[in-house]
Amino acid sequence: MRLSRLRRPVLSQPLAALLLLSLAACQGVSGGVGPVDPGARVEAGAVPSRVASPVEGAPQAVGPFVAAANPLAVEAGLGVLRRGGSAVDAAVAVQAVLGLVEPQSSGLGGGAFMMVYDGATQAVTAYDGREIAPASATPEMFQEDGRPLPFVQAVLSGRSTGVPGAVAMLAMAQKDHGSLPWSALFDDAERLARDGFVVSPRLAGMIASAAPQGRTPAAEAYFSLPDGRRAVAGDVLTNPAYAATVRALAAQGAQALYSGEIGKAIVAAVQAEPRPGGLTEADLVAYRPIERGALCRPFRVYVVCVPPPPSSGVALLQLLEMAEVTPSLAGGPQDAQAWVAFAQLQRLMYADRDRYVGDPAFVGVPVQGLLDESYVAERAALAPGLTGAATAGTPPGGVFMAPDRTTEPAGTSHMVIVDAKGNAVSMTTTVESIFGSGRMAGGFFLNNQLTDFSFAPTAADGSPMANAVAAGKRPRSSMSPVIVLDHQGRLVGALGSPGGSSILAYNAKALIGALVWDLPMQAAIDLPNLVAKGPGFGADTEMFSQALRDGMAARGIAIQPNTTENSGLHGALWRRGANDWGWDGGADPRREGQARTH
């Protein structure tokens, strides 16, 4: 069920009935805006070891709050909020800085999905800034001599780059929800690019890695210091070209990226050898982000909202719905049976996601069918008996498609922001792989997002792939930023993560940890990751106790080290602490992020 915007006064009758039936036993939450002492950085242990669901008398959830993957970006966002900026204003500043100091994960040359909550109207809006395949794209674009290209060769080619969408999407959202002038949101990014920033340990590790995108001529030139060394942690790196780009964006608006000198530079980089791509200036100018209806479903005493396809948020909602009819999940984080149930539900979710989710402008995605109550119950009932990889089901309205085997490598980031008026942003942003395609223009890396398409348009039996390449098509994404509401439509929290295809597992783990197992957000984020997609079980193996590993193994779940991109969860829930209501927030210790209130 898709909502154009979720507003309490104008809920559709079907949704209102669904929420009332699901939440009839819950008490309402009332109360207006009250003074909140948010404290300093949100630390683990700032709230009791177990916390309760929303209760009567909660004040409106308000900021400031910023969680993002780099301290410099967090400070840029808080600086905007201090000047009276909105959550979306702050998101623009955070993205501009992340693209400079964390270029391995996101940037101006990438794409994003953003969820926005309006504190005054209770509207929830999904913004789609996913990249688009150029007009020249064909289903065989990633094939040569009738065979799919090796993945690394495809990534490094010009064919891998779609029209960047993050900047246009931010401009659309900022026009709708901004308080400050667009031109005032790039000062930190320009200053850091011009004067230099300290290379963080994580960025240094990526620079030193064997990732071929970090060894391209453009990357070699950027990461080489005047003395000939490659930058290491603690070195100061400048990027005059990036400073010029953000100055142009501030002065000319988002169109500066899609036309003029920056647009020409993007096209030149994409069309360069080897394996030039077909992206043109006309493709750039034609790009349009999309304001989509938020996809919301009740979960326990909450309502969880995600972007609709081509985001895979529908799969996350399906897993949560299955979790509600899986009693063994209630055992908590020290119960092997609960982890086994979580793994088996993931297998079912991923099987359906891989078969049915794609760009809804090109394929019929059975959103309603995947979330149908009877279908979800049937799928969940299969979990205890699974002994291998799950197969996709047949949801109501589903059109048979071939199972997809798209590779989704590392290179994504997430942010959560709340402003003083209770407006909130949950945004997942990416350049796809580490440093995207390794090609640069205007001081930033270009995405390799088109490798998120299936390299083959059909399976061996001739059945079509929902995520096949097509001109003007948006590749399927695992990015699924989350907004959490109470049943009155008021903001309760937000979260999200990078992680390639594992994003869905990471988000689900944190939501179950915080909303089912009643853990503080930081503790929920800190939980070991377990990813069950296909026949295997990847995990933060050493973070599970021996007793849990033995208990899972006895039930057929033999965990192995996680080989997908690790998590970078950022999130917060509005909860009563020791003295008052405030943000119970967290940042993933697996990366360099912070969660702060001032």
Known catalytic residues are 412
Residue 170 is encoded by which pair of tokens?
Answer: 């931010």
Residue count of the chain, please give it.
598
Strands (E) located in 283-342: 290-293, 295-299, 302-306
Give CA–CA dist 89/173, Å, rounded. 9
The CA-atom distances, in angstroms, between 564 and each of 339, 408, 411, 567, 580 are: 19, 9, 11, 9, 39
Strands (E) located in 236-324: 236-237, 290-293, 295-299, 302-306
Burial 56-81 (b: 16+ CB within 10 A, else e): eebbbbbbbbbbbbbbbbbbbbbbbb
Q: Is 30 exposed, middle or buried (0-12, 13-18, 19+ CB in 10 A)?
A: exposed
Where residue 297 falls (left for φ over 0; alpha for ψ -120 to 50; beta otherwise) is: beta
479 contacts 460 by C-beta, under 8 angstroms: no
Q: Is 183 helix (H, G, I), strand (E, B) or coil?
A: helix
Residue 556 is encoded by which pair of tokens?
Answer: 């057929």
Q: Is 280 exposed, middle or buried (0-12, 13-18, 19+ CB in 10 A)?
A: middle
Amino acid identity at 460 = A
Asked, as a colleague might, if the bond just before 139 is cis with ω within 30 of 0, I would say no
Q: Sign of the CA dihedral 208, 214, 217, 223?
A: negative
Amino acid identity at 449 = Q
Where residue 194 falls (left for φ over 0; alpha for ψ -120 to 50; beta otherwise) is: alpha
Asked, as a colleague might, if the bond just before 310 is cis with ω within 30 of 0, I would say yes
